[in-house]
Chains A and B, each alone.
Chain A
């Protein structure tokens, strides 16, 4: 669950792009073609789409009510007649809760990365492009956040702010801004040093046009690939916070929280108690493999 900050070498991407203004359509077509020929990435994407679709369409799938408790049917084993995956410690249907759980678990993992991508990406590109004092101010501030191990930062922040989904989202976004900012800054600085930026400047392009076409066109790909590699970390971290009781509050179905409340059942029905973790594991593996596939297809060396 540790965030790795890779040193991204743009050489590969740029050599593909050189001589064109920004990323041409041909480049994205070749990325798409390479992705379509990658069975692992395709399978992972299919699983993730299935998970998301099931979570979104859960009310129409004919599932049991994920909130309905039953004192008589507590901790029923897997394969019970009415409850395919058994029931939890309050007699709620596990299958329904696992599928509904995807809503919050996926949302809590993807949203912080998306927020951090917007904020961290903006700050990093600004720091890289403007350089000088702005760069100094932004990057030294990020260094302060880098002085904390990521999990510690997330837990201390959400611990201080108190439990709740909003606070978890806020804490996680703060955790992911510095790494995205650092990567954005380093790729932007690299791009700024390429000759085509000087050429554009010399031919009278406005700063806005240079940023939009030459800088954004070349840095967004690598930044995006890096951000996707953080999603799996974010999902595990969000589930971890809920597991500690710092995230989503009961009775909401959420995989981390379910793992927590089912811990009391490990002596009664151990397989059942481990199920929510399997969902987290599958999701995180798929996101990791997809990010690897995307990186290979886009030829970003990390």
Chain B
């Protein structure tokens, strides 16, 4: 097992190398040179050249890449062109806020999805099955940023029951576990959870249905085992497939929360990325993308290893 995890990790190294190339390349996809964002167009040439030299943009590309890679590997993601602060600090703060929201949304989505999906797979009446199928269809089809706006309209504008945006009360500096901060989390959490809810419900329903039609279930029933205990066996068999989908969804949720964070002005990585794009703050854009991609890779690795641990049928390595 450990050997397999290690091997998977080693395999990630070339992928991580490719990722770093792509993230580095992001800056050079940008029209104009990266300096033009911070200097006025009529700046004297000497100043522009000085700045280019300061940021290292005067070097040939491969040299710039190796230099950037070297610095990045030490954990230094550079300085923000817009604020002059360390990119690593800004991304770390934002990442914390995103994770809080992500944990809430995945907990809500996954627990609801397991209950709904299992209920639909077991349901004798077509109505329950149809209803759950409808919920999962809506989940995968709804534009979640629109749903976020609709939630704001209903619960903040019309009912005035929940705050429309922000992480907490106006003078709040960061997230804390109290009533006001939790109230600010409700709407973004719901909006973020719809996609994973739809996808995971669909997976749980079809996997459990498939497991239920397996012969071992009939054998257990014939032996006279109670339904509850059979359910435990069924869930155990369905778990690996569902876990894989959940892992992917959790990663996508963190990467995809940018739209929701923008609607709710939630100060997470998505919000940071969005404002960096409009200030043309390329180091922030690079740093955020790199951190999120790295996190996504690690998450996928973890899910993969957990999957092999849960499912003895998968023999790898």
Contact = CB atoms under 8 A, between A and B. Distances in A.
A244 B262 contact: yes
B30 A281 contact: no
A148 B293 contact: yes
Contacts of B143: 1, 236, 239-240, 277, 280-281, 284
Interface string A245-267: 11000000000000100010011
Interface in A127-164: 140-141, 143-145, 147-153, 155-157, 159-162
Nearest to B16: A147
Nearest to A243: B145
A149 B292 contact: yes
Given A144-B22, A152-B258, A239-B143, A273 B273 contact: no
Contact of A244 (B149, B199, B248, B259): B259
A149 B252 contact: yes
B14 to A, nearest CB: 7
Given A143-B18, A144-B22, A159-B285, A281 B27 contact: no
B137 interface: yes
Interface in B141-164: 141-147, 149-150, 152-153, 157-158
Given A4-B199, A148-B293, A156 B273 contact: yes
Contact of B29 (A143, A145, A161): A161
B79 interface: no
Given A152-B255, A159-B285, A259-B149, A2 B249 contact: yes
Interface residues of A, number: 46
Interface in A158-203: 159-162
A232 B27 CA distance: 30
B157 A270 contact: yes
Contacts of A144: 15, 18-19, 21-22
A285 interface: yes
Nearest to B20: A144
A289 interface: yes
Nearest to B29: A160
Task: Name which of A1, A150, A246 has the most chain B CB atoms within 10 A of its CB.
Answer: A1
Interface stretch (B40-48, B178-186, B218-226, B274-282): B274-282
Contact of A2 (B152, B199, B285): B199
B19 A147 contact: yes
Q: How large is the interface on B (under 10, 10 to 19, 20 to 34, 35 or more residues)?
A: 35 or more
Nearest to B154: A270
Contacts, number: 153
A148 B259 contact: no
Contact of B146 (A141, A159, A277, A289): A277
Given A147-B293, A149-B251, A151-B252, A157 B258 contact: no
Contacts of A153: 255
Contact of A149 (B23, B149, B256, B278): B256
Contacts of A243: 145, 259
Contacts of A280: 143, 146
B286 to A, nearest CB: 9
A2 B277 contact: no
Interface in B173-212: 195-196, 199
Given A147-B297, A156-B285, A267-B157, A2 B137 contact: no
A288 interface: yes
Contact of B30 (A151, A161, A232, A236): A161
A288 B199 CA distance: 12
A151 B149 contact: no
A274 B150 contact: yes
Given A281-B141, A288-B137, A2 B248 contact: yes
Contacts of A143: 15, 18
A153 to B, nearest CB: 8
B273 A274 contact: no
B18 A141 contact: yes
Interface of A: 1-4, 140-141, 143-145, 147-153, 155-157, 159-162, 232, 236, 239-240, 243-246, 259, 263, 266-267, 270, 273-274, 276-277, 280-281, 284-285, 288-289
Interface of B: 14-16, 18-19, 21-23, 26-27, 29-31, 137-138, 140-147, 149-150, 152-153, 157-158, 195-196, 199, 245, 248-249, 251-256, 258-259, 262, 273-274, 276-278, 282, 285, 289, 292-293, 296-297, 300
Given A148-B255, A273-B149, A274-B153, 16 more contacts: A143-B18, A144-B21, A147-B18, A147-B297, A149-B256, A150-B252, A151-B252, A151-B259, A157-B29, A246-B277, A259-B145, A263-B149, A277-B149, A280-B146, A288-B140, A289-B137
8 contacts: A4-B199, A149-B292, A156-B285, A240-B259, A244-B258, A263-B149, A266-B157, A288-B141
